[in-house]
Amino acid sequence: MKNWQRNCVGGGLIGICLLFFSEASGQKLLVSPELLGGHRSLAQQHFASYTFGIWEAQHFSLIDFEYQSQQNNIFFIRNAVLYRLPKNVYLQAGIGLKNPGSFYSLLAQYRYQAKSTRISVSSGVTWQEGSSWENSLSVEHYSSASRKWRAYMRMLLISNTREKEVLRGIAQFRLGIARQEHHGGLALNIDRFSEGKQLYNIGIFYKINLIKHEN
Please report the pLDDT score of residue 146 as a whole number: 67
Q: Confirm if 138 and 120 have CB atoms less than 8 A apart.
A: yes
pTM: 0.84
Q: What are phi and psi of 34, to 5 degrees?
A: -140, 145
Using a 10 angstrom Cβ sphere, with 0-12 exposed, 13-18 middle and 19 or more buried, the burial of residue 197 is exposed
User: What domains appear along the chain, each with residue ranges and CATH number?
Assistant: 3-212 (2.40.160.40)
Please report the pLDDT score of residue 115 as a whole number: 86
Q: Please list the pLDDT of the chain residue by residue as tens digits (215 residues).
A: 454 444 444 444 454 454 444 444 447 899 999 999 999 999 999 999 999 999 999 999 999 999 998 889 999 999 999 999 999 999 999 999 988 789 999 999 999 999 899 999 999 999 998 899 999 999 999 997 667 899 999 999 999 999 888 899 999 999 999 998 999 999 999 999 988 889 999 999 999 998 765 54
Q: Confirm if 152 and 132 have CB atoms less than 8 A apart.
A: no
